[in-house]
Amino acid sequence: PSETEQARGQHFGSNLIFSTDKRHTDPQKYEPIAWSVDAKEYGRFLTDVFHLWVSQDVGKVFISNFEQALTQYLGNPSPNCIHAKKCGSSYAVEANGDVYFCDHIAYPESKLGNVFETSLHEMSLNHELQFNKESRLSMRCKQCQYLSLCNGGCPKHRYLSDTGEYENVLCDGYFYFFSSVQKYLQAMTTLLAHGYPASYVMQALDGPLILTPSNKR
């Protein structure tokens, strides 16, 4: 690959969660370097914060990761593009008017157009440049019990593994998190389905929860 392609591949694999090892020559096969956040540790971090939240802050403090997980557990689309089924719902507009379908992957090949030349509606109809998350899901993703909650994560966090499939560098962390909080999501879903606030889950942690018609929402 050219120097430009190598630089773009390096940038594609770099973000606030992890960075990549420049020693690789194939930009699609960059791997996280040693000081990057470990996927499992990231999952433990999310889980630890969730346990604090579910024990005392449900309905008081709103954390997008947890609200999004509950929303999806209820069968609704993810409000967060990272765990949505498709990309392209959050455009990025630069100062010169250039529009990209995502601020994580704002490269020339993902440019949709310019607001001074084309309307956003017209750009939204341009499917040629949309990144299809579902078409690049690995077999591991497709067979995962938490696919409906994760949807493979953000494509920018994926790398081409030795198996020839695109794996998400945070996969183990997401799996740890979703498997750890599933019973709480189920409890809140049950409460909401019967007309009670999700916050009642906090009371259930202290002992048997007695529900009556008078304390419904």
Could you tell me if 100 and 150 lie in one domain?
Answer: no
Q: Which burial class, exposed, middle or buried, applies to 118 when counting CB atoms under 10 A from its CB (0-12, 13-18, 19+)? A: middle
Specify the DSSP class assigned to residue 32: B
Q: Which residue has the tokens 């009371």?
A: 203
Please report whether residue 142 resides in a domain. Answer: yes
* Cβ count near 189 (within 10 Å): 16
Which pTM value belongs to this model?
0.76
Give the residue numbers spanning the domain of 138.
Answer: 37-85+132-205
* Cβ count near 108 (within 10 Å): 9
Please report whether residue 177 resides in a domain. Answer: yes
Please report whether residue 23 resides in a domain. Answer: no
Please report whether residue 29 resides in a domain. Answer: no
Please report whether residue 18 resides in a domain. Answer: no
pLDDT digits (tens, 9 = 90+) for 123-155: 877 655 455 678 788 999 999 999 999 999 988
- Per-residue pLDDT at 186 exceeds 80: yes
Could you tell me if 42 and 80 lie in one domain?
Answer: yes
Choosing from 48, 57, 98, 103, the catalytic residue is: 103
pLDDT digits (tens, 9 = 90+) for 60-79: 999 999 999 999 999 999 98
103 catalytic per annotation: yes
Residue 157 Rama label (left phi>0; alpha psi -120 to 50; beta): alpha
- With beta carbons less than 8 A apart as the criterion, state whether 81 and 102 touch: yes
